[in-house]
Structure 1
C-alpha cells in the first residue's frame, strides 16, 4: 500500500490555489485525490513510479528464479527463469551466487537506493552467462580444455586461411 502525505484532496481542490498545493504535495511524494465517484487516485513523481515498476518487475523475476531453483536442475528449462532466462547457462554454484547477489541488490534498491543497482548487476551476470553458454569459453574458464592442442595463429596465417 502506498503511504501518502496524509491529506486527501478532492477534485474541487484542483481549482484556484488548491491546484498548486496539490502539485507541490505530489512533487514531495505520493498524494491522494478522491474523485466524485469515490475512487482514489495517487499522483507521484515519475521517478518514483519508475522505481516501483522496476522493483515489481525484478521481484517477479526473483520469485520465478526462486521457484526454478527449488526444483532439480534436470527439471528446469530456461523459460522457468522468466526474464532472467540467461541464468540457465550458469552452474549451480554460480546460480546460488547470482541468487544471493540479486537478493541483496533488491533489498538495497527497495530500501531507497536506485534500481540501476539491480540493473547493473544483471548486466554483469548476463555477460558471465554468455561466456558460460559458449562451450569453448566455458572450457577455458574452467581450465578443462587442453590448451596444448591449440596452435597460435599469426597475421600471415590468418591471411592465408582467408585466401588472400
Structure 2
C-alpha cells in the first residue's frame, strides 16, 4: 500500500532515504553527508509531501510529491529500502506520484556530477527515460559538501490534459 503520511516513522523513513542516496550517490558527497534528517522528514510528512510505501506496518519506501503550479507537480527523494530493491516498488511510487494531483506534467531533478559518468546516474537517466521523462533543462548545483562540481538536470513527463 502507498499513501500520504508516515507520522511516527520519520526516523525509519530518513534511514531509508539516506541508505538509498548513500548507494546511489557514492563518491558525490563528502563522507558523513546525509540527504535528510528525521526532523526534516517530520516537517515534510506534516506538510503532506511524503507518500510512504508500506509492507504491513513497516515502511519500505517513500517519495516526496509537491504541486508546483496548476499544471505541474514534482517528485523527488524517491527511495526504496535496500531489502526491497528490484521489487518494482520504485516504479509504483512514481506511478503514485504521477496520480497524486490532477496535473498535466510531472517534473523531477537528477543530480549529475560533472566529469566521468557516474554509473548510478546513467542508470537513473536511462530508467526515467524509459518511463517517459525527457530532459528539459540544466542548472549549476553548488553545495559545500559535494566532492566535485555537479549539475541538476530537470526532467519532465506529460501526464494528461488538465481539465479547466
Per the shorter chain, which TM-score range?
A: under 0.3
| Larger-Rg structure | 1
Higher relative contact order, chain-length normalized (CA < 8 Å, sep 6+): 2
Q: Kindly indicate which of the two structures has a greater share of residues assigned to strand.
A: 2
Higher helix share: 1
